[in-house]
A and B are shown apart, each in its own frame.
Chain A
């Protein structure tokens, strides 16, 4: 039994300690907003926050984050998160949408630590978040829009 702290709730989970956090979130806790796309930390679709920092849950053994503060797309509460999501909606960033939970998790982490990111800062922070639909131009614009709205 491991204790996980996800979105402010404590869960006891009975899984092998080497199980990636992604599959515990999706299959055990039924939090399916965090996506599986590559399983090898190459695409960012599975990005969650661990103690506020973005992390690829597909290659993170669940035992490594027991007791830590885990936030998924379902648990985003901060002002920054709300503003980011509003900007995403205003600019209609999404296409198929499958990568977007991960994009938003990375964007929120960026703006939380850097209120005025440059294009280069955005490129660096979101480098690991792939979008097959190539919504990148709007992702960039939405992050700038959110930064403006956060004042």
Chain B
């Protein structure tokens, strides 16, 4: 990680930031670092996170998107901790798009939210920002009171000098602090002194989200703004041949209709008029180069690839040799459908053009990528595109598209209408579900060999599915030797001690747009590896927990969550029987993703008709230092519910190139009655904090499938899980 420097920007930013102390964290920019020694410190780029006003409010600028994961609570906690602020005086503001000031320290020069990195990359950065501000407030107090800094303490937003009984609020000291030099060194608290970290602090976004005032993109209203809907082609790769907008334009409220690269845009005074106008369009599409495969054909093509060796992702020992000499072989093919993100807030974007500028209102995960793509459409420089960061009503990876698809569409509409009015582009639920960017369809084949003592000696794992990364700016560092890391993560990193392991990959190219989906590769690799390991335990005649224990000796954190979940679930005690005609079962799974470790035990009841219910889930998580245990619990609960939707229902299918689903009616989400009772246990850890937004998701489907096996003796290899 780059060295951090801090400078005081208060005087320079005084006018724009308002009265008070603004602290900037400075890091050598990539360019300066590359140029090496000889560069003056003055070339360093500043990067502001904390502002303390004379009104006693502390504003924390959050560089990450709040999409439900709690980052508007977690990141300010870090500042509040080292600043010794009162939680009530903390305000949160979303950062503008700015790669130099607000880059994700784990993503190089790009500003982005993803891979469960928000807290991990900010942990030291924001604590340092808080500690520096605190040191300056203390120095200002020492000066004003003519006392030594040692005698001064800070707690709950009050600076005190015990000996003289003097005290002051942050607001009182802000201006004096702003005039002081920034300390070279600050020390961070030792974990035993933490006041907030490790405890529950209430979410900063709760109130606005329960009284209807929280601003989502869908809620933005600018003077003169029009609503745009776009008619997209019915198949990927089809283009516009011609259209007749006469009837559309006669709909009351419709202002204009015109072609853009992604279809035909209709502009109207409100959503309903735009929708009626769009329905009245007569469009002819050129489908000569359109995608026309059905799910069945795709699966058939992929099945042929399962028989051929792919690009090697891992090759330990001699897996093939191990298979040949094995006394027992187990093999299974797994299949995973395309999945839509289906966030509750459909995609949308508000855009306003000015002379040589563009302003965007949106909740988005890849702020600076989007900024660049929008600028390219409009012939602007990236810094001429200003982003106003709003809450996103879910995203799960969808608002992290490297092609910025819906934002670019909004830019084209603004450009085609010559920027006459601000425009709110709205996708209907049907548009959102059909316009692509799915979790890819994958097939897996696993084969393992056991020796005469039922020890697993060989494990081969082949994966077939589209690459998410190919063709994106991440390709250069995430695709190596033909292996897209995101396709094999969780499989190539198999933790089990098996002498021969081989993992290989085919990444066929297909015209279906694909994208990361909450927990990415682990959405399929965790299921394949954890269900298959259960099969091996069964083949070896071992208890599934026992089997894992025996193979995880070198992985204490996997073992830690596994043992904790098993103990809390009462794995050693028999499961209570179900009612007459019902079968019950319990399953376990463990998986590492995004450097966090999660184990889950699921209990299911299978009814006589083959339908089933997940009754209880016991989840153990090790994510390093638990900054906010309640947010961690919430993310595990939500992750399990999200993963259960995929386990029970999630499936996007194609028929002659057309997406067959359109809305929650045929792409159902988990309902409240299907939500299991969830208990979350957090491993006490002093390791660096890691993410929690994604790691709860991948473990539930294999835990449930293993429980269904325990209940019925039937092994399911296909998602969604169906017993009937």
The answer to whether B212 and A74 touch across the interface, beta carbons within 8 angstroms, is yes
Closest Cβ of chain B: how far from A81's Cβ, in Å?
10
The answer to whether A134 and B272 touch across the interface, beta carbons within 8 angstroms, is no
Within 8 A of B (CB), among A31-90: 31-40, 42-43, 45, 72-74, 76, 85, 88-89
Is the C-beta of A94 less than 8 angstroms from some C-beta in chain B? yes
Within 8 A of A (CB), among B169-210: 202-203, 205-210
> Looking at the complex, which one of B252, B640, B672, B678 makes contact with A122 (CB distance below 8 Å)?
B672
The answer to whether A30 and B221 touch across the interface, beta carbons within 8 angstroms, is yes
Chain B CB count within 10 A is highest, among A36, A96, A99, A124, for A96
The answer to whether B637 and A132 touch across the interface, beta carbons within 8 angstroms, is no
The answer to whether B672 and A26 touch across the interface, beta carbons within 8 angstroms, is no
The answer to whether B670 and A134 touch across the interface, beta carbons within 8 angstroms, is yes
Closest Cβ of chain B: how far from A104's Cβ, in Å?
6
> Looking at the complex, which one of B69, B211, B221 makes contact with A85 (CB distance below 8 Å)?
B211
The answer to whether A96 and B663 touch across the interface, beta carbons within 8 angstroms, is no
CB-defined contacts of B671 to chain A, threshold 8 Å: 123, 127, 130
Closest Cβ of chain B: how far from A41's Cβ, in Å?
9
The answer to whether B678 and A97 touch across the interface, beta carbons within 8 angstroms, is no
Is the C-beta of B415 less than 8 angstroms from some C-beta in chain A? no
CB-defined contacts of A140 to chain B, threshold 8 Å: 672, 675
Q: Mark B379-409, 1 if CB is under 8 A from A, else 0.
A: 0000000000001111110000000000000
The answer to whether A94 and B429 touch across the interface, beta carbons within 8 angstroms, is no
The answer to whether B634 and A92 touch across the interface, beta carbons within 8 angstroms, is yes
The answer to whether B645 and A37 touch across the interface, beta carbons within 8 angstroms, is no
Is the C-beta of B377 less than 8 angstroms from some C-beta in chain A? no
CB-defined contacts of A99 to chain B, threshold 8 Å: 344, 393
The answer to whether A96 and B672 touch across the interface, beta carbons within 8 angstroms, is no
The answer to whether A96 and B68 touch across the interface, beta carbons within 8 angstroms, is yes
Within 8 A of B (CB), among A96-139: 96-101, 104, 122-124, 126-127, 129-139
The distance in angstroms between the C-alpha atoms of A96 and B219, with both chains bound, is 14
The answer to whether A73 and B212 touch across the interface, beta carbons within 8 angstroms, is yes
CB-defined contacts of A39 to chain B, threshold 8 Å: 428-429, 663
The answer to whether A96 and B391 touch across the interface, beta carbons within 8 angstroms, is yes
The distance in angstroms between the C-alpha atoms of A131 and B342, with both chains bound, is 11
Chain A CB count within 10 A is highest, among B221, B342, B673, for B673
> Looking at the complex, which one of A38, A129, A135 makes contact with B638 (CB distance below 8 Å)?
A135
On whether A92 and B638 interact (CB within 8 A), knowing A19-B272, A36-B346, A127-B671, the answer reads: no
The answer to whether A98 and B202 touch across the interface, beta carbons within 8 angstroms, is no
CB-defined contacts of A28 to chain B, threshold 8 Å: 270
The distance in angstroms between the C-alpha atoms of A113 and B349, with both chains bound, is 39
The answer to whether A96 and B344 touch across the interface, beta carbons within 8 angstroms, is yes
Q: Mark B627-657, 1 if CB is under 8 A from A, else 0.
A: 0001100100111111011000000000000
The answer to whether B252 and A16 touch across the interface, beta carbons within 8 angstroms, is yes
Q: Residue of A at shortest CB range from B641?
A: A134
Closest Cβ of chain A: how far from B151's Cβ, in Å?
38
Q: Mark B341-370, 1 if CB is under 8 A from A, else 0.
A: 011111000000000000000000000000
Is the C-beta of A12 less than 8 angstroms from some C-beta in chain B? no
Q: How many residues of A contact B (CB 8 A)?
A: 57
Closest Cβ of chain B: how far from A79's Cβ, in Å?
16
Interface range for B: 35 or more
> Looking at the complex, which one of A35, A89, A95 makes contact with B68 (CB distance below 8 Å)?
A95
Within 8 A of B (CB), among A1-46: 15-16, 19-20, 23, 26-28, 30-40, 42-43, 45
> Looking at the complex, which one of B213, B221, B344, B634 makes contact with A132 (CB distance below 8 Å)?
B344
Is the C-beta of B441 less than 8 angstroms from some C-beta in chain A? no
CB-defined contacts of B391 to chain A, threshold 8 Å: 96-97
CB-defined contacts of B645 to chain A, threshold 8 Å: 132, 134
Is the C-beta of B497 less than 8 angstroms from some C-beta in chain A? no
On whether A132 and B663 interact (CB within 8 A), knowing A85-B211, A96-B393, the answer reads: no
Q: Residue of A at shortest CB range from B433?
A: A38
Is the C-beta of B214 less than 8 angstroms from some C-beta in chain A? yes
On whether A20 and B272 interact (CB within 8 A), knowing A35-B344, A96-B343, the answer reads: yes
The answer to whether B272 and A27 touch across the interface, beta carbons within 8 angstroms, is yes
> Looking at the complex, which one of B202, B269, B343, B393 makes contact with A92 (CB distance below 8 Å)?
B202
The answer to whether B212 and A134 touch across the interface, beta carbons within 8 angstroms, is no
Q: Mark B217-261, 1 if CB is under 8 A from A, else 0.
A: 011010000010000000000000000000000001000000000
> Looking at the complex, which one of B219, B227, B637, B639 makes contact with A138 (CB distance below 8 Å)?
B637
Within 8 A of A (CB), among B660-685: 663-665, 669-673, 675, 677-678
CB-defined contacts of B670 to chain A, threshold 8 Å: 130, 134, 136
Closest Cβ of chain B: how far from A120's Cβ, in Å?
8
The distance in angstroms between the C-alpha atoms of A93 and B212, with both chains bound, is 14
The answer to whether A132 and B394 touch across the interface, beta carbons within 8 angstroms, is yes
On whether A35 and B393 interact (CB within 8 A), knowing A85-B210, A130-B669, the answer reads: yes
The answer to whether B270 and A133 touch across the interface, beta carbons within 8 angstroms, is no
The answer to whether B344 and A135 touch across the interface, beta carbons within 8 angstroms, is no
Closest Cβ of chain A: how far from B555's Cβ, in Å?
29
The distance in angstroms between the C-alpha atoms of A111 and B26, with both chains bound, is 53
Within 8 A of A (CB), among B65-80: 67-70
CB-defined contacts of B271 to chain A, threshold 8 Å: 23, 26-27, 36
CB-defined contacts of A92 to chain B, threshold 8 Å: 202-203, 206, 630-631, 634
The answer to whether A42 and B641 touch across the interface, beta carbons within 8 angstroms, is no
Is the C-beta of B216 less than 8 angstroms from some C-beta in chain A? yes
The answer to whether B210 and A88 touch across the interface, beta carbons within 8 angstroms, is yes
CB-defined contacts of B394 to chain A, threshold 8 Å: 96, 98, 132-133
CB-defined contacts of A85 to chain B, threshold 8 Å: 210-211
The answer to whether A88 and B634 touch across the interface, beta carbons within 8 angstroms, is no
The answer to whether B429 and A37 touch across the interface, beta carbons within 8 angstroms, is yes
CB-defined contacts of B663 to chain A, threshold 8 Å: 38-40, 42
On whether A40 and B665 interact (CB within 8 A), knowing A97-B209, A135-B638, the answer reads: yes
The answer to whether A95 and B69 touch across the interface, beta carbons within 8 angstroms, is yes
Closest Cβ of chain B: how far from A145's Cβ, in Å?
14
The distance in angstroms between the C-alpha atoms of A99 and B638, with both chains bound, is 14
On whether A89 and B210 interact (CB within 8 A), knowing A37-B346, A94-B205, the answer reads: yes
On whether A95 and B70 interact (CB within 8 A), knowing A73-B212, A127-B671, A133-B638, the answer reads: yes
B residues neighboring A (CB under 8 Å) = 67-70, 202-203, 205-214, 216, 218-219, 221, 227, 252, 269-272, 342-346, 391-396, 428-429, 630-631, 634, 637-642, 644-645, 663-665, 669-673, 675, 677-678
Q: A96-B67, A139-B672 are in contact. List 8 more A-B contacts (CB 8 A).
A: A23-B272, A38-B429, A40-B663, A94-B203, A96-B68, A96-B344, A98-B394, A124-B673
- 6 residue pairs, one from A and one from B, having the closest CB atoms: A33-B212, A134-B641, A98-B393, A97-B209, A96-B68, A95-B68
Q: List 25 A-B contacts (CB under 8 A).
A: A16-B252, A20-B272, A23-B272, A30-B221, A35-B344, A38-B665, A88-B210, A89-B210, A94-B203, A96-B395, A97-B209, A98-B216, A99-B344, A101-B210, A124-B673, A131-B672, A132-B344, A132-B645, A134-B642, A134-B644, A135-B638, A135-B641, A136-B641, A137-B677, A138-B634
